[in-house]
Structure 1
């Protein structure tokens, strides 16, 4: 089945010289499709198993286990004049950052593009290919071992199909968005995604993923932040999943109880003897450091969940956003997601307009800025 779906030749790239020759041939190419296959089951960082590229004429499967010099590809991806088509690319960007040390400067995400073109948000790749191209792609190799060598014929076909049709989808959606005068919106959001990804590499807010953080008073919240940062750094250093170091619930309980002695750690659910032996002294010292902080160095409390009145306002705001999305023929999530809407409500209630202005830059400002401000004033 996969063989019959492939229309273009497939080339295996497993040397620095071949990769350099290939990148040289693409110097004047304005659009490339890119995908990755990787493994991330027992590590913090994804391990690249394959990089797939398509230039509209052929597919190239790059074996990262054989490449030492990535500079030609880095230079290619870093060119803002070249558009790199990807699909739902957040994990692929992590793979590229880890493998190459860079991400594409100009991304065209087909999952985002179809939502701007009037389609559903968060559409999967196979569903998009079927909707737009009328083809059913095989899914059997999605979770296969991409680090094995040699890769099976089924894996090679699966990987090649991903980028062959990705290039075709990108061209199709590119033209549709140009016709709808929305292409600039997509590329603007891609540049924002690029900046956000780069900013996250400088220091993630590790505490954001821990539930119930809002319940903590400032000193305990400071402890949670330091504990979460410690876990993040340790997971990165040892290249293991965060929960392999210590689970979120145990971090929260540590911040809540603020233990002063190593013996108290053993009373906390989720703190194993191994953690106590290996990291107990550091955990207690970290918490003691927080206890010694002056009040003016403590973080602000996190906002509480919305109350009934605020939830009603949130519902009204989301209805407003949905109406605006209908007028623009885009998915509502592209304007503001639920989390963004909650933040907008809090900013409006506090009459903190400067952060709101930052959220309304570009096409959002042009298309609904004044209407949103008026709505918030009347809400």
Structure 2
């Protein structure tokens, strides 16, 4: 339920206190509010934590911290990097990426309640509010979720919303731990959550061109130009803290790579470049083009072996087996395998190649169904129907 009084922002002393309590309890719940609009990377605007505290109401201490106050977050960052402390978040990837960058810290032992929900029968992308309702019967308001978190002072509504967002986070974690342990799925969920530990929003300027639309259609020389122009755009956007598209739109960048203009005047023939682009950045763009023209051409990557018409039934068969095992395990199917995984598995089996390095054939997924589908495609198992249900049995 919402706080009876409006929470207040805390300072360095409280950061040290919650860090101490987190070490004693072996866990910390955390969430952030940030703003991405109009920036190169998201701006951290508020940090809210929940930590076990026997002296606090309901045994949970809630604290809110304003990064704009230039607080010393070092004690909290040390907690995030401590492998002995579980860090509880919901939909953790962007929060982890922002905290790693803002505080220059590792984030270890993440327990993402959204990921865990997929292993507990709640769905792979369940929102925080819906999950609280399903697992705990609790409701949270979303009245301030899309407000200006970068404006100061923060309103009473924003502070109440932020505190409420972590109020039940540790209780939710307890419920998910209990359910996953009862079904023998806790270790699987924890393994999947380890992927969140390395979440990052850092981007390599030298590989930025690979994300351009239709970059695969560029010839090797144009790809070299695209790499230099995209790298210049990335660095400029970072320096000016602006979205890359405001520096130079994607379609214009691709067209520049194709045409390779050698002067600002030639840039005027390219759509999507307005006068501001040409006045402020025309010479820099031409210089980036020249660097690309002087660089070694970039050959297209070799294409993976393609599928054949006869692969479709095999992919459908493998998918049916995976869906069956996911239902039996009360797992969200989306956690187990992607369509691209299945295509690679089937193509490799048809060609007699080694098993591909895909997630569906490793870790907990291999334990659940990966080994089974590999043997099915090798002819050592067969699909049968028993009591109206699909089964996979050893071949006779």
CA contact (8 A) 2:208 2:234 kept: yes
1:349 & 1:238 partners in 2: Cα distance?
51
Equivalent residue number for residue 91 of structure 1 = 94
- Structure 1 residues 241-271: Cα deviation after superposition (integer angstroms, max 9, x where no partner): 1211122222222233333443322222212
1:377 & 1:213 partners in 2: Cα distance?
37
Equivalent residue number for residue 63 of structure 1 = 66
1:345 & 1:237 partners in 2: Cα distance?
46
The 5 A counterparts of 1:1-379 are 5-6=1-2, 12-56=8-52, 57-195=60-198, 197=199, 201=202, 203=204, 205-294=207-296, 298-300=299-301, 315-341=316-342, 344=345, 353=354, 356=357, 360-375=361-376
- Structure 1 residues 98-154: Cα deviation after superposition (integer angstroms, max 9, x where no partner): 431235211111111110112212111111112222233211111112233332222
1:357 & 1:319 partners in 2: Cα distance?
18
Q: Deviation of residue 7 (structure 1)? A: 6.3
Q: Deviation of residue 344 (structure 1)? A: 4.9
Question: For the structure 1 residues 19 and 46, does the alpha-carbon distance in structure 2 shift closer, same or farther, using more than 3 Å as the test?
Answer: same
Q: CA RMSD in A?
A: 3.1
2:274 & 2:308 partners in 1: Cα distance?
38
Greater mean deviation of Cα atoms: 209-218 or 38-47: 209-218
Structure 2: gaps (5+ residues):
53-59, 380-396
CA contact (8 A) 2:115 2:192 kept: no
Question: For the structure 1 residues 39 and 310, does the alpha-carbon distance in structure 2 shift closer, same or farther, using more than 3 Å as the test?
Answer: same
1:255 & 1:175 partners in 2: Cα distance?
55
TM-score of the superposed pair, with normalisation by structure 2:
0.82
- Structure 1 residues 330-366: Cα deviation after superposition (integer angstroms, max 9, x where no partner): 1111112345445556666776647516763321232
1:304 & 1:258 partners in 2: Cα distance?
32
- Total equivalences in the alignment: 371
TM-score of the superposed pair, with normalisation by structure 1:
0.85
CA contact (8 A) 2:10 2:65 kept: yes
Q: Deviation of residue 374 (structure 1)? A: 3.5
1:64 & 1:132 partners in 2: Cα distance?
32
2:51 & 2:154 partners in 1: Cα distance?
22
- Structure 1 residues 43-99: Cα deviation after superposition (integer angstroms, max 9, x where no partner): 112222211111141211112122332211111111111111111122212331343
SS at match of 2:225: helix
Larger Rg belongs to: 2
1:219 & 1:348 partners in 2: Cα distance?
36
Greater mean deviation of Cα atoms: 89-98 or 161-170: 89-98
2:314 & 2:284 partners in 1: Cα distance?
45
Question: For the structure 1 residues 31 and 25, does the alpha-carbon distance in structure 2 shift closer, same or farther, using more than 3 Å as the test?
Answer: closer
CA contact (8 A) 2:341 2:359 kept: no
CA contact (8 A) 1:324 1:368 kept: yes
CA contact (8 A) 2:32 2:48 kept: yes
CA contact (8 A) 2:9 2:65 kept: yes
2:203 & 2:359 partners in 1: Cα distance?
20
1:310 & 1:217 partners in 2: Cα distance?
31
Greater mean deviation of Cα atoms: 41-50 or 279-288: 279-288
Q: Deviation of residue 213 (structure 1)? A: 2.7
CA contact (8 A) 2:337 2:360 kept: no
Equivalent residue number for residue 382 of structure 2 = none
CA contact (8 A) 2:124 2:334 kept: yes
